[in-house]
Amino acid sequence: MSGDNQRQTVRPIVTIGLVDNDAFSLAFLERSISELMPEARIIWKTTSGRDAVARCLDTRQSPNVLLTDMSMDELSGLVVCKTIRIKTARVKILAVTSFSLAVYSNKAAAAGAQGIVPKSVETPIIEAIRTIAAGGTWGEGFETAAQAHTRLSGQRMPRQFLLSDREAEAMNLCSRGLSTEQIAAEMQVNASTAKTYLTRAIHKLGVTSRGAAVALWTGASEGE
C-alpha cells in the first residue's frame, strides 16, 4: 500500500439536541453543525426548555450533547442545565449565548454545563462539541458531566418543574404580559379556571405575587 495514501480520521457519531426559543438561531446552529461536523447527528431541536429537559431525561431521546441557549423566555438555560444535571450525567451540556461569555460563564458552570461558546461563531462551537462529547470541558471553571452531577444530585429540582403543563402554559402567557382574561382566551378556558392555574403556579413557585412568579419563571431570579 502506497505511503502517499491519506487516511481520513473516522470520528465516532455524536448525537445532538438543540434548544433555543429563537427559530433563526436554531436554524443557524443546525446548519453550522450539519455542514462542519460530519459525525454529528441532530436527533431533535425544540424552542421549549421544558421539552428539551423531558427529552434529555428520556433515555430513548437523550442526546450525547445538548446545546442550550442561555436566554430563553419560557425557562432560562440555567434552569434547563441544572434540572438535567440534577437527574443525570448522561447528557453533556454546552451553553451558547449571544451575550458576552462573562455574563453567563460562571452561572453556566454552577448549573452543571460543560462549557460555553458564543452563538455567532461557528468553529468554536464545533470544537467545543467534540471536546465535550469526548468527556472534556470547554472553558475555565467547568466540570465534567460526572463531576457536576455528583455536586448537584442531592439538590432539589427547580420549582419551575413542579408545575403541571397547564400551569406552565398559564405562566408562559402571564410572562408575555397577558391579563387573566387574555390568558383564558388563549387557553380556551374561562377566566376563573385561568386564575386558578395562575394561583396554583404562584404557590408552587414559592412566591406571593405574579411579578415575582414571572421573574422566577423567566430566569430573572435564578436562585432555584
96 and 125 in contact (C-beta within 8 Å)?
A: yes
pLDDT at 7 over 70: no
Across-strand partners of 40?
A: 14
What mean pLDDT is reported for the chain? 91
Q: Is 53 helix (H, G, I), strand (E, B) or coil?
A: helix
Angle at which helix 49-56 crosses helix 77-87, to 10 degrees, equals 20
The residue length of the chain stands at: 224
Report the pLDDT value the prediction gives residue 66, as an integer from 0 to 100.
99
pLDDT at 224 over 50: no
120-172 residue pLDDT tens: 877 899 999 999 999 999 999 999 999 999 999 988 888 777 888 889 889 98
72-125 residue pLDDT tens: 877 789 989 999 999 999 999 999 999 889 889 999 999 999 999 998 877 899
pLDDT at 221 over 60: no
220 — pLDDT class (breaks 50, 70, 90): low
Q: Could you give the C-alpha distances from 111 to 55, 78, 209, in angstroms and in order?
A: 18, 6, 26
**What is the C-alpha R_g of the chain?**
19
For a pLDDT cut of 70, what percent of the chain falls above it? 94
Report the C-alpha gap between 26 and 7 in whole angstroms: 33
Q: Model's pTM, two decimal places?
A: 0.80
Report the C-alpha gap between 38 and 157 in whole angstroms: 36
Report the pLDDT value the prediction gives residue 4, as an integer from 0 to 100.
45
Closest to 129 measured CA to CA, from 36, 21, 213: 36
Task: Kindly list the structural domains of the chain, giving each domain's residue range(s) and its CATH number in brackets, ordered by start.
Answer: 14-152 (3.40.50.2300), 159-218 (1.10.10.10)
Report the C-alpha gap between 187 and 114 in whole angstroms: 37
Q: Which residues have C-beta within 8 Å of that of residue 130, sequence separation ≥ 6? A: 11, 14, 37
